[in-house]
Structure 1
Amino acid sequence: MPPRPDLEKSCAPLPDPSGIPTYPEGGARAWLVVLGAWCGLTASIGLYNTTGVFSVIISNTILTSSSSTSTGWIFSIYAFMVWIVEYYQIFLAFSLLTGLGSSLLLTPSMACVAHWFDARRGLASGIAWTGGGVGGVLFPLLIQGLLPHLGWAWCIRITGFILLFLCLISILLCRSRIPPLTRKDATSPWRATLPDYHIFLDGTGAMAFTTLGVLFVDLAYFIPITYLPSYYLSRQNLPTSSTISGSAAFGYQLLAILNAASCFGRLISGSLGDHFGHYNTMIISLFLCVVSIFALWLPDIVTTSSDSPVLLIIFVIIFGFVSGSNVSLTPICLGQLCGVGDYGRYYASCYTVVAFGVLVSLPAAGAILDICGGRGRKGSKGDFWGVAVLTGGCYVVALGCFVWVRGRVIG
């Protein structure tokens, strides 16, 4: 039996029917597109990476009577769409409007880079994705500095003005270059980019298992960045009244440290993926995520004899680096399964599935947190062991999916 082709070769972008034989691979116009994508990802993913700050403020100072499961729906609906003092107001403003806006900004920002780079796509995408890490550093520190002095309303207004500025730059600079493929059943180019379940039935299982892997990557990634500040408050036995000041400020800084580390992970993994294969790099990063969860975060949770945050800080740095890399690599791995003109359809098909899965991630994590700590009680760092196990388990499943796709094609 002849050997099956290597994934990195067999899944390389197909020749594009648009008649454009080469990609610029650089130049002023191409790098301006990367800058526009960077601004778009700073606004969308940067805010996404700041949900832990919003979670601890909303849970401990605004919706104090709501359970972890209830407040989890606010942020899972936000992730689903990305993908005020009353619950419904926060739900509508943050979950629905912000989530939908982030989605409309995120997808074009990622896709347009692929129109200008092929051989250097990992590097260009990695640079663009560092915007999410920069935003994840900027917004937590901004909120930490403004909230005690200006209050919730003006803190959110100033954040909104910064987002508006970033969005305007992204809109001005992001440009497509290759028209989408037109399906036989499509009556317009727009319809050609709609989700298509036939993609999952290609006979190899590559798209189906890649999508399943991406689903569990997003399930796992969103939990720590949401619960990390809350975990720090519980770990240090800090009262909810210190949420926005005093010793609790380090909880905000932990999230900033995680996102800063993710910038380096996204940049380095993109370049490594170009040289050693994006699926290979993805598998390594997922394995390191599993190790960081079970060898660093879980021991910090279950160890009751030490109040030193050293182990937690080590976990935050390592997890930020490796999780940032696997988040930025998922769109590139999807791009290897299709041509650039067909990318919108593949991306939409994948993330339609992923969005519905992420929808239940934080409510599930919140329910586990309530159960492990006793329903209605939030206060001990040991309550978070179930959340850590859930996160690590999701990464294990994601790792298995990507290993299966790699092994399936290699034989």
Structure 2
Amino acid sequence: MLSPSSPSFPPLSDSEKSASSPDASPPTYPDGGLQAWLVVLGAFCGLTASVGLYNSTGVLSILLSSSILTTTSASSLGWIFSIYAFVVWSVGVWVGPCFDVFGPRVLLLAGAVCTMLGMMGLSFCDEYYQVFLAFSLLTGLGSSLLLTPSMACVAHWFNTRRGLASGIAWTGGGVGGIVFPLLVQALLPSLGWKWCIRILGFVLLVLCAICICFCRSRIEPPKPKDGVSTWRQTLPDYRIFADGTGAMAITTAGTLFTDLAYFIPITYLPAYYLSRQHMDDQEAGVTGAAGFGYQLLAILNAASCFGRLTSGSLGDSIGCSTLDP
């Protein structure tokens, strides 16, 4: 069993060792092989547990409003998922440099623990502040700790086929968005919302375990520079935006606005459907016309799987900028 405090890295080849020197040629990438595709499998499971849960917030919104927070206004309920989304993406600014310093394993372990504790805690919640702490903060932190290392590991193993490999891994987010809403719809009538959340948490735990087993960084973290402590290396370096062209800043801003727009339909589509059917969340069930709200979110995520796969593959051949709207 590998110690969480000392991540294991496969030995570098002679060419990779020479590539790490200042005057070396650009590093090479396996771009395939069993170990590389196992990393993709691990990333797929990690993104299913993090982005898949993120893509299921629309169903969780109905579940919370109909089972726990029955008297909470829609605007107050919206803050739970807004803060959750903020934590998921904003913490990644710090998780990325931590990945460069410590490798993926310790971050993935921390993410699995936070996600499991958050979901189990959610199943015992009765008050608004409890849901906020358990889901918005703790589960949001866990999702961020899973998402960033899972995504970054793939880039260590693929170069010319990076788009395809990343697309396959990111499909996990769509698969989670299909499975989790349908799982809630199937379990809720017979087990109730508490055990529904707990079983969902156990499913996430299994996915996290697979992710931890297979996600590996290929290049050993850099040693601290003279006069620079390890904790300083984990701080974001905002100088990357000052590249003289503004390309990095514009790309980052575009990604930010894309994610902001993406969050709206996955969170409010089921509730919007119920309102159009003249049913509030308390009256909505999981069968018939009301049950289609759960299935609608699964359909949306199923379509996204196709987009993730095809855009990743096309990105390798025609370039990523060509695919941008």
TM-score normalized with structure 2 length: 0.78
Measured after TM superposition, the shift of residue 89 of structure 1 is 1.2
Q: Quote the RMSD (CA, aligned, Å).
A: 2.0
Determine whether 1:35 maps to 2:76: no
Q: Is the 8 A contact 1:34 1:113 kept in 2?
A: yes
* Residue 244 of structure 1: aligned partner: 286
Which of 172, 195, 218 aligns to 2:213? It is 172
Partners of 1:270 and 1:133 in 2: CA distance = 14
Residue 98 to residue 216, structure 1, CA distance change in 2 (3 Å): same
Structure 1: which amino acid aligns with 2:208?
Answer: C
Residue 41 to residue 190, structure 1, CA distance change in 2 (3 Å): farther
Q: Residue 237 of structure 1 aligns to a residue in which SS?
A: coil
* Residue 100 of structure 2: aligned partner: none
Determine whether 1:131 maps to 2:151: no
Measured after TM superposition, the shift of residue 185 of structure 1 is 7.9
Structure 2: which amino acid aligns with 1:279?
Answer: S
Determine whether 1:100 maps to 2:141: yes
Structure 1: which amino acid aligns with 2:298?
Answer: A
Moved more, 234-243 or 214-223: 234-243
* Residue 122 of structure 1: aligned partner: 163
Task: State the Cα deviation string for residues 272-306 of structure 1 (Å, max 9, x = none).
Answer: 111111121122xxxxxxxxxxxxxxxxxxxxxxx
Matched length? 269
Partners of 1:55 and 1:25 in 2: CA distance = 40
Residue 42 to residue 16, structure 1, CA distance change in 2 (3 Å): farther
Measured after TM superposition, the shift of residue 237 of structure 1 is 1.2
* Residue 404 of structure 1: aligned partner: none
Partners of 1:68 and 1:62 in 2: CA distance = 13
* Residue 191 of structure 2: aligned partner: 150
Measured after TM superposition, the shift of residue 63 of structure 1 is 1.8
* Residue 163 of structure 1: aligned partner: 204
Structure 2: which amino acid aligns with 1:265?
Answer: G
* Residue 278 of structure 1: aligned partner: 320
Q: Is the 8 A contact 1:81 1:103 kept in 2?
A: yes
Q: Residue 204 of structure 1 aligns to a residue in which SS?
A: coil
Task: State the Cα deviation string for residues 142-176 of structure 1 (Å, max 9, x = none).
Answer: 00010111001100111011100010010010000
Moved more, 31-40 or 63-72: 63-72
* Residue 311 of structure 1: aligned partner: none
Q: Is the 8 A contact 2:20 2:27 kept in 1?
A: no
Partners of 2:307 and 2:226 in 1: CA distance = 41
Within a 5 Å distance, the mapping from 1:185-204 to structure 2 comes to 187-188=228-229, 191-204=232-245
Which of 62, 66, 69 aligns to 1:63? It is 69
Measured after TM superposition, the shift of residue 60 of structure 1 is 3.7
Measured after TM superposition, the shift of residue 204 of structure 1 is 0.7
Residue 282 to residue 93, structure 1, CA distance change in 2 (3 Å): same
Q: Residue 153 of structure 1 aligns to a residue in which SS?
A: helix
Partners of 2:199 and 2:162 in 1: CA distance = 34
Q: Is the 8 A contact 1:40 1:167 kept in 2?
A: yes
* Residue 28 of structure 2: aligned partner: 22
Q: Residue 77 of structure 1 aligns to a residue in which SS?
A: helix
Residue 150 to residue 186, structure 1, CA distance change in 2 (3 Å): farther
Residue 137 to residue 107, structure 1, CA distance change in 2 (3 Å): same
TM-score normalized with structure 1 length: 0.62
Structure 2: which amino acid aligns with 1:237?
Answer: H
Partners of 2:259 and 2:312 in 1: CA distance = 18
Q: Is the 8 A contact 1:182 1:192 kept in 2?
A: no
Within a 5 Å distance, the mapping from 1:196-345 to structure 2 comes to 196-240=237-281, 241-283=283-325
Q: Is the 8 A contact 1:180 1:192 kept in 2?
A: no
Structure 2: which amino acid aligns with 1:64?
Answer: T
Which of 121, 132, 145 aligns to 1:91? It is 132
Percent of aligned pairs sharing the same letter: 72
Measured after TM superposition, the shift of residue 80 of structure 1 is 1.7
Partners of 1:29 and 1:177 in 2: CA distance = 10
Q: Is the 8 A contact 1:42 1:133 kept in 2?
A: yes
Q: Residue 74 of structure 1 aligns to a residue in which SS?
A: helix
Q: Is the 8 A contact 1:57 1:243 kept in 2?
A: no
Measured after TM superposition, the shift of residue 65 of structure 1 is 2.5
Residue 126 to residue 186, structure 1, CA distance change in 2 (3 Å): farther
Measured after TM superposition, the shift of residue 66 of structure 1 is 2.1
Unaligned runs of 5+ in 1: 1-14, 284-411
